[in-house]
Amino acid sequence: MRFLSPGFLFALLTIAIPVIIHLFNFRKFKKVYFSNVRFLKNVQIQTSSRQHLKHRLILASRILGICFLVFAFSRPFIPAAQQQNLFQEEVLSIYIDNSYSMEALNKEGTLLDEAKRRAKEISSAYSLNDKFQLISNDFDGKDQRLLSLEEFQTAVNELNISSSSRNLDQIISRQKDVFLKEPNSGKTIYLISDFQENILPERSISADSTIKTRLIRLSSNTQPNISMDSVWFGSRMHKPGESEKLIIRLRNNSDEEALSVPIKLTINKIQKSISSLTIKARSIGIDTLTFSGLLPGWQDAELEITDFPVVFDNKFYFSFHVQQSIPVLVINGRPENEYLNSVYRSDSFFKLSNIGAGNINYSALSNYPLIILNELNTISDGLIQQLNNYILLGGSLMVFPNLSESTSDLANLLSVLNADLPLEVLTADNKVSKINLDHPIFQGVFDNIPKQIDLPVTKKYVRYSSRNNKNRENILEMPGNIPFLSEYKIGSGKLYLSAIPLSAETSNFVRHSIFVPIMYQTALLSRSNQNLFYKLNKDQLIELPKISLGSNQILKLTKDAFETIPDLRQNDNVSLLYIADQIKQAGNYELLKNDSLLTVLSFNEQDSESDLSYANDEKIRESFPDQAIELMNPKSGSLTNEVKAINQGTSLWKFCLILALIFFAAEILIIRSSKKITIKPINY
């Protein structure tokens, strides 16, 4: 047996006090004269024997009680079978959870403050020669170096809340990396966290017998929380001044119903809409906000809810672009088509340009999100190549065939685009029998769909092969799965292929009620919309339309005084923006090419932190199926002595304290159980 605080053993000298009291009787006796003590002799002998026994038992109880009380303060322990070598250098990796959930409160302040205090207490249980690693959710490069005790405690003081969150597998894997530098040292991992359920890994953590793993759980008060889950628009295209419908989704992460949660929408720092929403416990609530009056350009939007005391997820950022107009280019093989002119020139939002097949400016094709080939007689190889590049980079091409000429040039174009090829031109009456109402073209077009819907008819059309069924989606279809109007996804763009030209002689399509919405929606969908928002520490690779940089041009992501240079990676058809962990704060960021605004990117916190549900001990142990871990639940007091006791063996101070109380109680019982002797007079 050994002692953690052997200095208290000097208190054993206090044993002399009861010994002295029992050796010396300080009471003064008074003589009493009796005429004859012969009759008291037997009583005197018996009483003296009982008194000696009683005094000795009281003395023993007092001595043992004092001894075990001193032992309790000296903190005795039995050395462990695999007790650490006190002369061996120890390497400790201490993880402090600094995610948003650690802002929760308990009676000692925030959980992060308690975690920092506990980390200092743990480090104080080790010697000055030991080395320490401090790791947090930030996973900074500086975390991979070992610190002295003083440096470690300074680093703990500087730790702040982070937007990042990690699971146990990621954390422990990173902690093990630092041990590779110290193969001959003792190794211990400490994890200080509230252990939200999101910290548990998807797979079990592999065992390592050379590393001791200790988990310190911090408990907070139960707190309700409402969080923003997602947002989306009712329409993909945004026009200046038009009414917009924004659908929002909120999540109630608590076990109580949330009543009338206030919601406020701000766009470009101007309040656009307010609302309130009641959400049942552990449920999702959906609401629609209506607003208007937007100007052309990028819109910085922010949704805010009022929800206390958890506030880190009360704001939600998103961004979108309002188009000034959509340019549409029609390349004509015949005179300008009156139906196309009538459709697109009736709305000033569309800017229609008509050119002949011999007057194409190839370099300007990328300025048009939608290009329409209207009955071209011939399609040159140069134009085919340019149109292929145009679609691959995100453009939309719509093709209406010429039925009076050979379809060989059209076949060449479709072959390069890997679409279905024209087989023959059929002159026969036929009617569209199926309309794909799930296609985005018909989104919001029909309020009510009649059972017997009137669909277009045709007298002459092209029948295409079916070699590209996987890449094709029919929008309008004739009997026998014959396409009337189809969409092909090619690269980042789209090809719309029609079986008929735009003429009243071949079909009534141009006079049909669905002609206008199809042409409108095709143009509106030609603008590729980027995501409204991205998640921090999750969406690290962002796909954008092709960005070309000159020799002296750079990209910058800026927000207020913050500025960073992201990594741009070029793909065949798109540009990939790699932000890694450069963005750590939620908000709307401008992407600039030198000083020219390209786009606005919005980042929000991961919603996993919003659910304040905690894993129990059983679930935590399931993550470590093949190893013994130590779960510590500190209630009060310091962890320093507890860690020392765990490191060195089985603590006996509680046992000693119990024994001390038992012996003091025995002393009291012995004193109370002794009876006074009564001498009765004897009559002669």
**pLDDT confidence of 42, banded at 50, 70, 90?**
low
Any residues with CB less than 8 A from the CB of 410 and at least 6 apart, and which? 376, 379, 399, 401, 402, 422
Please tell me the number of Cα atoms within 13 Å of 626 on its side-chain side: 8
- Mean local confidence (pLDDT), 174-183: 89
**pLDDT confidence of 87, banded at 50, 70, 90?**
very low
Least confident range of 5-14, 32-41, 64-73:
32-41
Over residues 96-148, the pLDDT tens digits come to: 999 999 998 888 789 999 999 999 999 998 988 899 999 999 888 888 899 99
Domain 534-604, CATH 3.40.50 — does that match? no
8 A C-beta contact, residue 331 and residue 325: no
Partners of 266 in beta bridges: 271, 302
pLDDT for the residue 25: 57
Place of tokens 């992460």: 253
pLDDT for the residue 607: 84
Over residues 542-597, the pLDDT tens digits come to: 988 888 888 888 999 999 999 999 999 888 778 899 987 788 899 999 999 988 99
Please tell me the number of Cα atoms within 13 Å of 148 on its side-chain side: 4
Partners of 651 in beta bridges: 77
Going from the C-alpha of 396 to that of each of 160, 440, 477, the distances in angstroms are 48, 14, 21
Over residues 232-244, the pLDDT tens digits come to: 998 888 999 999 9
Strand pairing class (315-322; 326-332)? unpaired
Count of beta carbons in the 10 Å neighbourhood of residue 123: 23
288 Rama sector, left if φ>0, alpha if ψ -120 to 50, beta otherwise: beta
Sheet holding 297-305, edge to edge: 270-279, 258-267, 297-305, 315-322
pLDDT for the residue 682: 47
| Distance spanning both ends of the chain, measured CA to CA | 67
What is the distance between the alpha carbons of residues 579 and 537, in angstroms, rounded to a whole number?
Answer: 9
Q: What DSSP line would sit under 116-176, residue for residue?
A: HHHHHHHHHTS-TT-EEEEE-TT--GGGGS-B-HHHHHHHHHT----S----HHHHHHHHH
Dihedral of CA 21/24/25/26: which sign? negative
Place of tokens 């390497």: 91
Going from the C-alpha of 219 to that of each of 161, 201, 619, 669, the distances in angstroms are 17, 20, 16, 43
Q: What is the DSSP letter of 347?
A: S
Domains of the chain by residue range = 2-74+653-673, 92-222+620-634, 226-323, 330-525, 534-604
Task: State the Cα torsion 195-198-203-205 to the nearest 10°.
Answer: -30
Three-state secondary-structure class, residue 647: helix
What are the tokens at 156? Answer: 């703990």
- Mean local confidence (pLDDT), 412-425: 93
Partners of 105 in beta bridges: 110
The domain defined by 330-525 folds into Rossmann fold (3.40.50)
pLDDT for the residue 83: 53
Q: What is the pTM of this model?
A: 0.77
Over residues 630-659, the pLDDT tens digits come to: 888 777 678 887 887 777 667 788 888 999
Over residues 288-336, the pLDDT tens digits come to: 999 999 999 999 999 999 988 888 899 999 999 999 999 999 999 989 9
**pLDDT confidence of 45, banded at 50, 70, 90?**
low
What are the tokens at 661? Answer: 């109380």
- Mean local confidence (pLDDT), 176-199: 91
Q: Which residues of 597-625 are buried (b: 16+ CB within 10 A; e: fewer)?
A: ebbbbbbbbbbbbbbbebbeeeebeebbe
- Mean local confidence (pLDDT), 57-69: 88
Class of domain 226-323: mainly beta
Same CATH fold assignment for domains 226-323 and 330-525: no
Place of tokens 């959870």: 97
Domain 92-222+620-634, CATH 3.40.50.300 — does that match? no
What is the distance between the alpha carbons of residues 126 and 114, in angstroms, rounded to a whole number?
Answer: 19
